[in-house]
Amino acid sequence: MFDIGPDSDLEPAVRAFRVLLLVGQRLHRLMDQRLRADGLTTQQAALLTVVTALGRPSLGEAADAMGTTHQNAAQLVAALTRKEFLRVEPDPADRRRRRLIATETNDQYWRVRDAADHNAVADWFSTLTDSELQTLTTLSERLLKALSET
């Protein structure tokens, strides 16, 4: 349907784009299915990952790190605040800026489920060897860096 098989007549870049798009969509759907019972989405989990990694990011910093719009990030923050996974506080240095803070509810939630989610992800990628996974990661990181600069 998408003409992505080995006999594809597509230019290599277009074929790669289609394959990566489909892989990303499938992985997103699989993780959404895992999180749905708890009322979370993959996008919300990604925002929580960003907040935890960055410490106390501003909304703009979190949006940039996710590669999404300020408006989309704000909607995710609103949902996660309602669910008590995030707290939003004014920045002491600049009261106009808001800082995102992961809550204890967030920390407890991920402590309980991280191992099972990591196992599921490992299973999804189990068709690849460790060496292939390393190559995939290296190439994907290089592409992501180049795309971030455009």
- What's the pLDDT at 1? 64
Whether 44 and 76 have beta carbons less than 8 Å apart is answered as yes
The reported pTM is 0.88
Token pair of 59 as six digits: 């909304």
Per-residue DSSP letters for the chain? ----STT--S-HHHHHHHHHHHHHHHHHHHHHHHHHTTT--HHHHHHHHHHHHHSS-BHHHHHHHHT--HHHHHHHHHHHHHTTSEEEEEETTEEEEEEEEE-HHHHHHHHHHHHHHHHHHHHHTTTS-HHHHHHHHHHHHHHHHHHHT-
Cα–Cα distance measured from residue 65 to residue 52, given in angstroms and rounded to the nearest whole number: 12
Cα–Cα distance measured from residue 21 to residue 26, given in angstroms and rounded to the nearest whole number: 9
Cα–Cα distance measured from residue 76 to residue 47, given in angstroms and rounded to the nearest whole number: 7
Q: What is the mean pLDDT of each run of 10 residues along the chain (150 residues)?
A: 80 92 96 96 97 95 94 97 97 90 96 94 98 97 90
- What's the pLDDT at 30? 98
- What's the pLDDT at 150? 78
